[in-house]
A and B are shown apart, each in its own frame.
Chain A
Amino acid sequence: MGYVDDQFSQLHKLQDESSPDFVVEVASLFFDDAEKLINSMARALEQPCVDFKQVDSHVHQLKGSSSSIGALRVKNVCIAFRSFCDAQNREGCMRCLQQVSHEYTMLKSKLQTLFRMEQQILAAGGSVPLE
Protein backbone atom coordinates (compact mmCIF):
# COMPACT_ATOMS: atom_id res chain seq x y z
CA MET A 1 0.00 0.00 0.00
CA GLY A 2 1.25 3.38 -0.84
CA TYR A 3 1.99 5.98 1.71
CA VAL A 4 -0.12 8.56 0.09
CA ASP A 5 -3.19 8.32 -2.00
CA ASP A 6 -4.89 10.32 -4.62
CA GLN A 7 -5.50 13.15 -2.27
CA PHE A 8 -1.88 13.95 -2.29
CA SER A 9 -1.89 14.48 -5.99
CA GLN A 10 -4.97 16.61 -5.52
CA LEU A 11 -2.90 18.77 -3.29
CA HIS A 12 -0.39 19.11 -5.98
CA LYS A 13 -3.06 20.28 -8.33
CA LEU A 14 -3.84 23.05 -5.98
CA GLN A 15 -0.32 24.23 -6.16
CA ASP A 16 0.16 26.93 -8.64
CA GLU A 17 1.88 30.20 -9.12
CA SER A 18 -0.19 31.86 -6.46
CA SER A 19 0.76 29.23 -3.94
CA PRO A 20 3.95 27.58 -5.16
CA ASP A 21 4.71 25.91 -1.89
CA PHE A 22 1.25 24.85 -1.08
CA VAL A 23 2.01 21.19 -0.76
CA VAL A 24 4.96 21.80 1.43
CA GLU A 25 2.92 24.15 3.56
CA VAL A 26 0.18 21.70 4.03
CA ALA A 27 2.56 18.89 4.73
CA SER A 28 4.36 20.96 7.32
CA LEU A 29 1.13 21.81 9.02
CA PHE A 30 0.24 18.19 9.02
CA PHE A 31 3.49 17.17 10.57
CA ASP A 32 3.20 19.65 13.36
CA ASP A 33 -0.37 18.80 14.06
CA ALA A 34 0.18 15.08 13.91
CA GLU A 35 3.06 15.19 16.30
CA LYS A 36 1.04 17.15 18.76
CA LEU A 37 -1.81 14.75 18.48
CA ILE A 38 0.35 11.68 18.87
CA ASN A 39 1.97 13.12 21.94
CA SER A 40 -1.38 13.93 23.44
CA MET A 41 -2.58 10.46 22.72
CA ALA A 42 0.45 8.95 24.34
CA ARG A 43 -0.05 11.06 27.40
CA ALA A 44 -3.68 10.18 27.64
CA LEU A 45 -3.00 6.49 27.29
CA GLU A 46 -0.35 6.61 29.95
CA GLN A 47 -2.81 7.81 32.52
CA PRO A 48 -3.86 5.28 35.10
CA CYS A 49 -7.42 6.07 34.19
CA VAL A 50 -7.55 6.50 30.46
CA ASP A 51 -9.94 9.04 29.08
CA PHE A 52 -10.91 7.24 25.93
CA LYS A 53 -13.10 10.02 24.76
CA GLN A 54 -10.21 12.33 24.74
CA VAL A 55 -8.05 9.82 22.95
CA ASP A 56 -10.81 9.21 20.46
CA SER A 57 -11.10 12.89 19.82
CA HIS A 58 -7.41 13.13 19.06
CA VAL A 59 -7.54 10.14 16.81
CA HIS A 60 -10.46 11.61 15.01
CA GLN A 61 -8.59 14.76 14.33
CA LEU A 62 -5.52 12.90 13.18
CA LYS A 63 -7.67 10.88 10.89
CA GLY A 64 -9.11 14.04 9.40
CA SER A 65 -5.74 15.62 8.84
CA SER A 66 -4.22 12.54 7.39
CA SER A 67 -7.05 12.07 5.00
CA SER A 68 -6.80 15.67 3.96
CA ILE A 69 -3.21 15.31 3.10
CA GLY A 70 -3.65 11.90 1.62
CA ALA A 71 -1.71 9.95 4.20
CA LEU A 72 -3.42 6.69 3.50
CA ARG A 73 -1.70 4.42 5.89
CA VAL A 74 -1.89 6.76 8.78
CA LYS A 75 -5.56 7.15 8.13
CA ASN A 76 -6.17 3.44 8.10
CA VAL A 77 -4.40 2.99 11.38
CA CYS A 78 -6.51 5.77 12.80
CA ILE A 79 -9.66 3.97 11.81
CA ALA A 80 -8.56 0.89 13.68
CA PHE A 81 -7.43 3.06 16.53
CA ARG A 82 -10.89 4.53 16.86
CA SER A 83 -12.55 1.20 17.15
CA PHE A 84 -10.23 0.30 20.01
CA CYS A 85 -11.08 3.54 21.69
CA ASP A 86 -14.76 2.78 21.39
CA ALA A 87 -14.14 -0.59 22.92
CA GLN A 88 -12.05 1.09 25.59
CA ASN A 89 -9.35 -1.39 24.92
CA ARG A 90 -6.22 0.09 26.36
CA GLU A 91 -3.98 -2.57 24.99
CA GLY A 92 -5.35 -2.18 21.55
CA CYS A 93 -5.04 1.57 21.78
CA MET A 94 -1.46 1.36 22.83
CA ARG A 95 -0.72 -0.91 19.93
CA CYS A 96 -2.45 1.38 17.52
CA LEU A 97 -0.67 4.33 18.92
CA GLN A 98 2.61 2.72 18.22
CA GLN A 99 1.51 1.87 14.76
CA VAL A 100 0.36 5.37 14.11
CA SER A 101 3.55 6.76 15.35
CA HIS A 102 5.46 4.41 13.16
CA GLU A 103 3.48 5.17 10.07
CA TYR A 104 3.66 8.81 10.67
CA THR A 105 7.39 8.77 11.05
CA MET A 106 7.80 6.81 7.87
CA LEU A 107 5.55 9.18 6.02
CA LYS A 108 7.27 12.20 7.29
CA SER A 109 10.67 11.02 6.30
CA LYS A 110 9.52 10.03 2.86
CA LEU A 111 7.71 13.27 2.26
CA GLN A 112 10.62 15.26 3.45
CA THR A 113 12.83 13.37 1.09
CA LEU A 114 10.41 14.04 -1.68
CA PHE A 115 10.24 17.70 -0.96
CA ARG A 116 13.96 17.96 -0.79
CA MET A 117 14.28 16.32 -4.11
CA GLU A 118 11.67 18.58 -5.60
CA GLN A 119 13.47 21.58 -4.33
CA GLN A 120 16.68 20.34 -5.80
CA ILE A 121 15.02 19.88 -9.14
CA LEU A 122 13.51 23.28 -9.05
CA ALA A 123 16.76 24.76 -7.91
CA ALA A 124 18.46 23.07 -10.78
CA GLY A 125 16.07 24.78 -13.08
CA GLY A 126 13.91 21.86 -13.82
CA SER A 127 10.22 21.45 -13.13
CA VAL A 128 8.42 18.85 -11.25
CA PRO A 129 5.70 17.18 -13.24
CA LEU A 130 2.36 17.24 -11.52
CA GLU A 131 1.32 13.81 -12.60
Chain B
Amino acid sequence: MAEVEETLKRIQSQNGVQGIIIVNTEGIPIKTTLDNASTVQYAGLIHQLVMKARSTVRDIDPQNDLTFLRVRSKKNEIMIAPDKDYFLIVIQNPSD
Protein backbone atom coordinates (compact mmCIF):
# COMPACT_ATOMS: atom_id res chain seq x y z
CA MET B 1 0.00 0.00 0.00
CA ALA B 2 2.86 2.33 0.84
CA GLU B 3 4.43 1.51 -2.52
CA VAL B 4 1.24 2.57 -4.26
CA GLU B 5 1.20 5.83 -2.34
CA GLU B 6 4.82 6.50 -3.19
CA THR B 7 4.27 5.77 -6.86
CA LEU B 8 1.28 8.08 -6.96
CA LYS B 9 3.24 10.80 -5.19
CA ARG B 10 6.05 10.43 -7.70
CA ILE B 11 3.66 10.72 -10.64
CA GLN B 12 1.81 13.59 -9.03
CA SER B 13 5.03 15.53 -8.51
CA GLN B 14 5.95 15.29 -12.20
CA ASN B 15 5.88 18.56 -14.03
CA GLY B 16 2.54 19.12 -15.71
CA VAL B 17 0.51 16.40 -14.00
CA GLN B 18 -2.96 17.78 -13.35
CA GLY B 19 -4.55 14.75 -11.79
CA ILE B 20 -4.48 11.04 -11.13
CA ILE B 21 -7.47 8.75 -10.87
CA ILE B 22 -7.56 5.04 -10.17
CA VAL B 23 -10.77 3.29 -11.22
CA ASN B 24 -11.77 -0.29 -10.67
CA THR B 25 -13.13 -2.63 -13.32
CA GLU B 26 -16.60 -1.17 -12.96
CA GLY B 27 -15.34 2.32 -13.64
CA ILE B 28 -15.78 3.40 -10.04
CA PRO B 29 -13.03 5.74 -8.88
CA ILE B 30 -11.27 4.37 -5.83
CA LYS B 31 -8.54 6.97 -5.57
CA THR B 32 -8.19 10.47 -6.95
CA THR B 33 -6.29 13.72 -6.67
CA LEU B 34 -9.06 15.70 -8.35
CA ASP B 35 -12.31 17.09 -7.01
CA ASN B 36 -15.31 14.81 -6.87
CA ALA B 37 -17.21 16.18 -9.87
CA SER B 38 -14.20 16.04 -12.21
CA THR B 39 -13.29 12.59 -10.97
CA VAL B 40 -16.72 11.15 -11.60
CA GLN B 41 -16.88 12.72 -15.03
CA TYR B 42 -13.44 11.55 -16.13
CA ALA B 43 -13.82 8.10 -14.61
CA GLY B 44 -17.07 7.25 -16.35
CA LEU B 45 -16.14 8.56 -19.77
CA ILE B 46 -12.60 7.24 -19.83
CA HIS B 47 -13.60 3.84 -18.54
CA GLN B 48 -15.93 3.32 -21.47
CA LEU B 49 -13.34 4.60 -23.93
CA VAL B 50 -10.73 2.20 -22.59
CA MET B 51 -13.17 -0.70 -22.90
CA LYS B 52 -13.75 0.31 -26.53
CA ALA B 53 -10.02 0.59 -27.18
CA ARG B 54 -9.47 -2.83 -25.70
CA SER B 55 -12.22 -4.33 -27.91
CA THR B 56 -10.70 -2.63 -30.93
CA VAL B 57 -7.31 -4.21 -30.24
CA ARG B 58 -8.89 -7.61 -29.74
CA ASP B 59 -11.11 -7.31 -32.82
CA ILE B 60 -8.00 -6.69 -34.90
CA ASP B 61 -6.17 -9.60 -33.27
CA PRO B 62 -7.80 -11.76 -30.57
CA GLN B 63 -4.39 -12.76 -29.22
CA ASN B 64 -3.41 -9.16 -28.67
CA ASP B 65 -4.35 -6.93 -25.74
CA LEU B 66 -4.31 -3.25 -24.86
CA THR B 67 -1.41 -2.20 -22.66
CA PHE B 68 -1.59 1.61 -22.75
CA LEU B 69 -3.70 4.39 -24.18
CA ARG B 70 -2.75 8.02 -24.78
CA VAL B 71 -5.43 10.51 -25.70
CA ARG B 72 -3.93 13.80 -26.72
CA SER B 73 -6.14 16.83 -27.07
CA LYS B 74 -5.60 20.54 -27.54
CA LYS B 75 -5.66 21.26 -23.84
CA ASN B 76 -4.07 18.21 -22.23
CA GLU B 77 -3.13 14.56 -22.52
CA ILE B 78 -4.87 11.68 -20.82
CA MET B 79 -2.84 8.53 -20.28
CA ILE B 80 -4.43 5.30 -19.20
CA ALA B 81 -2.63 2.21 -17.98
CA PRO B 82 -5.19 -0.60 -17.84
CA ASP B 83 -4.51 -3.52 -15.61
CA LYS B 84 -6.52 -6.62 -14.86
CA ASP B 85 -8.34 -5.10 -11.92
CA TYR B 86 -7.77 -1.37 -12.23
CA PHE B 87 -7.11 1.47 -14.63
CA LEU B 88 -4.61 4.16 -13.74
CA ILE B 89 -5.56 7.47 -15.36
CA VAL B 90 -3.16 10.39 -15.44
CA ILE B 91 -4.09 13.77 -16.86
CA GLN B 92 -1.18 15.93 -17.78
CA ASN B 93 -0.44 19.17 -19.44
CA PRO B 94 2.27 18.28 -21.91
CA SER B 95 3.80 21.70 -22.14
CA ASP B 96 7.41 20.92 -22.92
Indicate whether A and B interact: no
Chain B positions near chain A (C-beta within 8 angstroms)? none
Chain A positions near chain B (C-beta within 8 angstroms)? none
